[in-house]
A and B are shown apart, each in its own frame.
Chain A
Amino acid sequence: MRRKIKITAVVLMTLVFSLLLSGNVLAQEEDHYGGTLNAALQMSVAHLDSDNSTDSLITAMMNHVYEGLFEFDENLNLTPHLAESYQIGEDGLVYDVKLRENVTMHNGQTMNADDVIASFKRWLELNNGGQLVSPYFDRVEKIDQYNIRFKFKEPYAPFLNILASPVSNQKFVVRAEEVVNEFGSDVIDRHVGTGPYKYEEWVPDQKLVLTRFEDYSPSPREGSFFAGERIPYLDKIVFNFIPDAQVRVSGVQTGQFHFAEEVPRDQYSLFEANPNIDNVIIYPDRMSMLIFNNANPPFDNKYARQAIAYALDFEELGYAMIGNPKFWRLEPALHEEGNPWHVPDAGKGIYGVYDPEKAKELLDRAGYDGSPIVILSGQDNAMERQGAIAIQDQLEKIGVEVELQLFDRPTVVERRAKKEGWHIHLSPFIKIVPDPQIHQGWTGTNKWISNWDSEESREMDQIFAEMLKEVDQEKRYKIVERMEAKLWDAVPYFNILDYSRLHIKRAELKNFKGSWQPFFWNTYLE
């Protein structure tokens, strides 16, 4: 009897111990799960329908709720996401896309071709990206539940890149068919997607609350930025809209927020000294563009435009415009290093060559008469304001008289649209773009504000026309090389440098990746 009890006791003890141990092991794996994340974003949004707005913040937040057929990974490589695979027809007119099976949507149904086609038609009609595509597009066909065929009238090479575009209001996301039918072209306020988080509550001007979607079907690929596996560790994500930068900063300092978007770069060293705060420097995803008014003397002549590139000390400008060299780098190409479209020797011999003597020589050659150069720039954005002041200083050093015109944004927009009254304008551009074709929007004859209309601008139009039709990646890259070479010869505008934004996060938020738009899957709280 006693022996029996002893054995039972031993067995019980062993059981309890093994349970405890296994519990520990399990706990270590499960540890990452749980918690509510509070993020402070810099602006509020009007609504949450990304097809109906140019606001990049909508895309950034709703990336947690909706997913695309294709997404970009860390190196801006196009990766199938809700799609399993794709095939492009020989002539570039047909795209066959196979969808992943068994992807559950937030309404419990399985995503199929009907959802994708309904969302795609809405995207084509409403979204800016869709409107770029639609002149070349013919129709979309359903082959079966999980196979779709996109047909084009004319080849449109950037198609897939635009579908996954990181630029606001271009990306294509898959919504449930019932929602698309319910709202049509109206602003959607019921959100049924396939993402790792689902919509819970939105208080305008205050916050957006998302909760974990328990039945989420992750992509089998390895997670990298927006592509691949997304693991929803956090129970809840709360996006708070806090327009004042200093309030975002103090929120993180006190622990109210785990993450704050775009904080002052000059406070970097303060954050670094605080053990509870981590700096997140975003890969340089902005460019500061110097745009010439190509219509009027002296900049109707390419030698005068080249002269300005020689006259400026770009490194000095980096310090004046942005400050700490951690936040900027010199980059002559329109696509950054690591991007498949990066052209390493763009602007060779002119970009970053500080040669005031040559600048004077070129100005003489262009017949510059010494009349004052008007720099038109915004005064609210530090980059534009400080850049304009620094450029004025450098041009005055080589004896060019400069008149500085700093205005608020609406006035600048109004004045730069005119043909007269300005010579040089500074503007920030988004560096991370899905496809080189995007540059066609402001590069070419009389595009955007450049007033560029010459033999050279027409050659540039020709280059972009070729690029549009070429679907072979390698041949297309050659065309991009020609585009960059032409750009640095004619210089209708040029990139001074690329610069970064600074986010901060609490140290307890782990595995956060600084991408062009913040995302919180795969991150967890400790």
Chain B
Amino acid sequence: MLFLKKYKRYKHPYITTSIIILIIIAFLSLFAPLLTDYNPVRNDARNRLQPPSYQHFLGTDQFGRDVFTRILYGIRTSMEVGLAVVLLTVIFGGIVGVMAGYYSQIDKIVMRILDALMAFPGIIIAISLAAIWGAGKLNIILALSFAYFPKMARIVRSAVISIKDLDYVDSARSVGAKDSRIIFKYILKNSASPIMVQATFNFALAILDEAALSFLGVGIMPPAPSLGAMVTDARTYMVVAPWMILAPGIMIILAVLSLNLLGDGLRDLLDPHLKNTLKK
């Protein structure tokens, strides 16, 4: 693969760092049940607001639940939401983008609609949709995907437009290749890098926005663990139980930072114009 080959050659420090953090996060969320003895939703209110100790690595919250356990499961929720949103935006953004970019007849209509959607900040769209559909994991995923897909469609469309008039596409068309073959075999394959970069950023944004929605009370329903909701709950206890707000806060920072670094790194690595700067 092109990416791996390039990575081996340039050893981009952003990518190295972010991948190490991401592997740790993925490990934590995948093996959450094995890493802790506690249940993330079971209460033990008699032991509420305990400071970090040997039994409770990161202390307990106002219900006496283990904060470390809730973070493990919370990051799991974040990852699930992030992955699902990325998948949905790539699929729907991709379809719409390719359609608009390849068939110039529908381009104008579709892109004007997308422009109108993009006029609203994504988080506003997500909040209103989540408020209408109600809170819950599935609704958040749908709301965030709906908020993000116009941008993805726009990026795919511009990639498709710049590629579709290149010589190799013309030659494929001249030998009688069908539209579907041209799109999948020649165009999509070559526009993979901007999609990949945008997908990484969307992943980070989805984690952040899920936290924001849960913080505002329209996200993951309690008692299910979510990093954003943990921060909301912890606000009241900030002065007496700072571990409750620090732990999920740091986790959100780590997840978003590593994904943003990965996105930046990928953009550097896959952008032909930046190759020379990298060599230095």
A and B: partners? Answer: yes
Q: Are A320 and B222 in contact (CB under 8 A)?
A: no
Q: How many residues of A contact B (CB 8 A)?
A: 24
B215 cross-chain contacts in A, Cβ below 8 A: none
User: Shortest Cβ distance from A394 into chain B, in angstroms?
Assistant: 8
Contact (A404, B43) CB under 8 Å given A319-B64, A320-B48: no
Closest to A320 in B: B45
B178 at the interface (CB under 8 A from A): no
Partner of B45, one of A270, A390, A392, A397: A390
A318 cross-chain contacts in B, Cβ below 8 A: 45
A406 at the interface (CB under 8 A from B): yes
Q: Are B239 and A390 in contact (CB under 8 A)?
A: no
Query: A264 CA to B236 CA in the complex, in Å?
Result: 8
A316 at the interface (CB under 8 A from B): yes
Query: A385 CA to B229 CA in the complex, in Å?
Result: 13
Partner of B239, one of A267, A320, A386, A389: A267
Closest to B43 in A: A393
Q: Are A270 and B223 in contact (CB under 8 A)?
A: no
Q: Are B236 and A316 in contact (CB under 8 A)?
A: no
Query: A379 CA to B223 CA in the complex, in Å?
Result: 12
Q: Are B239 and A404 in contact (CB under 8 A)?
A: no
A404 cross-chain contacts in B, Cβ below 8 A: 221-223
Contact (A323, B48) CB under 8 Å given A270-B240, A379-B217, A390-B63: yes
Q: Are B43 and A270 in contact (CB under 8 A)?
A: no
Partner of B223, one of A266, A316, A382, A389: A389
B41 cross-chain contacts in A, Cβ below 8 A: 393
Q: How many residues of B contact A (CB 8 A)?
A: 19
B201 cross-chain contacts in A, Cβ below 8 A: none
Contact (A320, B62) CB under 8 Å given A379-B217, A393-B43: yes
Kindly supply a per-residue 1/0 record for chain B positions 43-55, scoring 1 wherever the CB is within 8 Å of any chain A CB and 0 otherwise.
Answer: 1011011000000
Partner of B237, one of A266, A392, A393: A266
Query: A323 CA to B42 CA in the complex, in Å?
Result: 17
Judged by DSSP, the binding face of A is helix
Chain A stretch 371-427: residues in CB contact (< 8 A) with chain B: 379, 382, 385-386, 389-390, 392-394, 397, 404, 406
Q: Are B240 and A269 in contact (CB under 8 A)?
A: yes
User: Shortest Cβ distance from A244 into chain B, in angstroms?
Assistant: 13
User: Shortest Cβ distance from B58 into chain A, in angstroms?
Assistant: 18
Kindly supply a per-residue 1/0 record for chain A positions 294-324, scoring 1 wherever the CB is within 8 Å of any chain B CB and 0 otherwise.
Answer: 0000000000000000000001111110010
Query: A418 CA to B80 CA in the complex, in Å?
Result: 36
Contact (A389, B45) CB under 8 Å given A269-B240, A323-B62, A379-B217: no
A394 cross-chain contacts in B, Cβ below 8 A: 43
User: Shortest Cβ distance from B69 into chain A, in angstroms?
Assistant: 14
Kindly supply a per-residue 1/0 record for chain A positions 252-281, scoring 1 wherever the CB is within 8 Å of any chain B CB and 0 otherwise.
Answer: 000000000000101101100000000000
Partner of B222, one of A264, A266, A269, A406: A406
Q: Are B237 and A386 in contact (CB under 8 A)?
A: no
Chain A stretch 343-392: residues in CB contact (< 8 A) with chain B: 379, 382, 385-386, 389-390, 392
Query: A394 CA to B63 CA in the complex, in Å?
Result: 12
Closest to B223 in A: A389
B241 cross-chain contacts in A, Cβ below 8 A: 266
Partner of B236, one of A266, A269, A406: A266
User: Shortest Cβ distance from B62 into chain A, in angstroms?
Assistant: 7
Q: Are B240 and A320 in contact (CB under 8 A)?
A: no
Query: A319 CA to B241 CA in the complex, in Å?
Result: 16
User: Shortest Cβ distance from B235 into chain A, in angstroms?
Assistant: 10
User: Shortest Cβ distance from A246 into chain B, in angstroms?
Assistant: 10
Query: A267 CA to B49 CA in the complex, in Å?
Result: 12
Q: Are B221 and A406 in contact (CB under 8 A)?
A: yes
Chain B stretch 20-51: residues in CB contact (< 8 A) with chain A: 41-43, 45-46, 48-49
B222 cross-chain contacts in A, Cβ below 8 A: 385, 389, 404, 406
Q: Are A390 and B236 in contact (CB under 8 A)?
A: no
A397 cross-chain contacts in B, Cβ below 8 A: 42
Q: Are A316 and B237 in contact (CB under 8 A)?
A: no
Contact (A316, B43) CB under 8 Å given A264-B236, A266-B240, A267-B239: yes
**B-to-A contact residues, CB < 8 Å:** 41-43, 45-46, 48-49, 62-64, 217, 221-223, 236-237, 239-241
14 contacts between A and B (CB under 8 A): A266-B49, A266-B62, A317-B45, A319-B64, A320-B48, A320-B62, A320-B63, A323-B48, A323-B49, A323-B62, A390-B43, A393-B43, A393-B63, A397-B42
Q: Which 3 A-B pairs have the closest CB atoms?
A: A319-B45, A320-B45, A393-B43
